[in-house]
Amino acid sequence: MSAPVVLITGGAAGIGLAIAARALARGAKVWLWDRDADALHAARTVWGGDVRTAEVDLADPDAILRAETRLAELPPTHLVNNAGILGQPMALDAMQADEIQRVLAINVTGTLLASAAFLRARAAHPQAAIVNMSSIAGTNGGAPGHAVYGASKAALLALTSAMARDLAPGIRVNALAPGIIDTEIQKSVFASRAALEATAQGIPLGRLGTPDEVAEAAEWLLFAAAYVTGETMRVGGGRK
């Protein structure tokens, strides 16, 4: 069996980078798509030829198409739709159309277009799989002021069900729903580190999750969950 090639959007930092590390450790090769050129360069420096990168803003359909043409160099067999943004906090009676569109363009439209690019460029693989990165916000609405983010992550749950149905039996499709994970995005939600740690005390397991713990679940869904498709796995320490 040929080695898997995993395309990871938003792959240059945080959860995406942790998934890349686990994929590489098991012998896969990796494509990283991200907006951060410096972080992409750092990943190439660490991992060398097993990692290929493309600077891609998922809000830009043309950028996705340009990156798709490069996938012919090493056609991907697996996909992780990890890229996403939280967006600016907005009260429900003060919604701004441009900010709504910005969040949905990356979290929903970008995910759809990246998935389409993957499907056109992919190489067949007996373990082919897609993991969509949703959030517990997709079911609980998310933090106050972030209804658009919650709605975008709920959309990914529906998308996962649709993709699992339409791509079976050749490709398994599942979603992850992380809880409060210790990444940079939390700085946009919590006023201070102390506030974040205080909230963590209310999580049943009593602490924040780590990017590697989410990556561990992603690794299982990508490579080992042979009879699992159309499902959403929470990685939230018991928080719902």
What's the half-sphere exposure (Cβ side, CA atoms, 13 Å) at 151? 12
Q: Which amino acid is at 113?
A: L
Hey, is 4 helix, strand or coil? Answer: coil
Q: Which of 54, 149, 160, 176 is catalytic?
A: 149
DSSP output for 65-87: HHHHHHGGGS--SEEEE------
Beta bridge partners of 110: none
Distance between alpha carbon 136 and the CA centroid of its chain, in Å? 13
- Reply yes or no on whether 149 is catalytic: yes
> Which one, of 149, 132, 135, lies nearest residue 230 by Cα?
132
CB 184 within 8 A of CB 139: no
> Whole-angstrom Cα distance, residue 187 to residue 193?
8
Q: Which two tokens stand for residue 2?
A: 């040929």
CA angle 222, 8, 231 (to 5 degrees): 40
What three-state secondary structure class fits 232? strand
Taking the CB of residue 90, how many other CB atoms lie within 10 A of it? 17
User: Catalytic site residues?
Assistant: 149
